[in-house]
Amino acid sequence: MATDAICLEGVNTFYGESHALHDLSLSLRAGSVLALLGRNGAGKTTTLHSIVGFQPVRSGRIALFGEEVAALAPEDIALKGIALVPQGRRVFRSLSVRENLTVASRIPAGARFTLERIYDMFPRLKERAKQNAGSLSGGEQQMLAIARALLTNPRVMLCDEPSEGLAPRVVEDVGAALSQLKSEGLSVLLVEQNTRLALALADHVAILNTGRLAFFGTVAEATAKDDFLVQQLGVH
Ligand code: ATP
């Protein structure tokens, strides 16, 4: 049986008394891409933050490669091999590109992602290594945010709306970078408003509606339910 990189079972997350995630169960199969979709406020970021421990879960189970992590502190969850590329990139604008890459890097002997490898994958970052990250374009900052997460050598990447605010041509570059991660065998949980991009990259799709799972299935199953996608996501 295929291992799950991430498995949520009956997760409930609250902000104070506000119930944000309702009995959420979903899984990301190892080596695959799961697109997590839903309208604004559906609970996508809350799901990612519950997984990485930024937002404590009130009940339910979260397993990373079979190991329960829901009760751990965020730094301990990160050490299990999970990296979040946050919404809005959140690069350190006054640090150089190189400093952004090395400040939290984790590169054990024999690691797949080294600074050299990252510079091969993202030549623009190499060209701009000494520049302040704040001077990069939005697309370059997104690549930097992805590269920074890769340099922790994770087993699982969570990407929160990587295409947000980017021009269509740059969205293609982001798609190509994510596609490369998939071909490297990384497990990726991708939150996107750009349904087309998400469906092009993903193996499976989960759709949230007001903190509840409205759909979970393969991309083929999701696209066969065209009317349902339009109703849930407002896309054509
Ligand atoms: P978006 O696409 O707009 O980023 P989302 O699907 O990621 O939306 P969340 O940000 O997870 O949705 O929000 C889920 C619900 O939780 C929403 O009702 C939101 O208002 C609420 N919420 C999110 N963050 C907080 C917070 N810090 N305090 C209180 N409520 C919050």
**Structure confidence by residue, pLDDT tens digits, 75-117:** 999 989 999 998 877 878 888 888 898 887 788 888 889 999 9
| pLDDT for 1 | 53
Please give the structure tokens belonging to residue 194.
Answer: 């750009």
Q: How sure is the predictor about 235, in pLDDT bands with cuts at 50, 70 and 90?
A: low
169 contacts 1 by C-beta, under 8 angstroms: no
Q: Is residue 12 helix, strand or coil? A: strand
pTM of the model: 0.92
Pick among 3.90.1560.10, 3.40.50.300, 2.40.10.120, 1.25.40.10: CATH of 4-81+155-233: 3.40.50.300
Distance from residue 22's CA to the centre of ligand 1 (Å):
13
Q: pLDDT (tens digit, 9 = 90+) per residue, 116-138?
A: 999 988 888 899 889 888 888 88
| pLDDT for 34 | 96
Average pLDDT over the chain, rounded to whole?
89
The verdict on the CB of residue 182 being under 6 Å from ligand 1 is no
The verdict on the CB of residue 53 being under 6 Å from ligand 1 is no
Sorted by where each begins, the domain ranges of the chain are 4-81+155-233
Q: pLDDT (tens digit, 9 = 90+) per residue, 18-49?
A: 999 999 999 999 999 999 999 889 999 999 99
Query: Ligand 1, closest atom to CA 55?
Result: 27
DSSP for 87-151, please give it.
TT----TTSBHHHHHHTT----TT-S--HHHHHHH-HHHHHTTTSBGGGS-HHHHHHHHHHHHHT
The verdict on the CB of residue 45 being under 6 Å from ligand 1 is yes
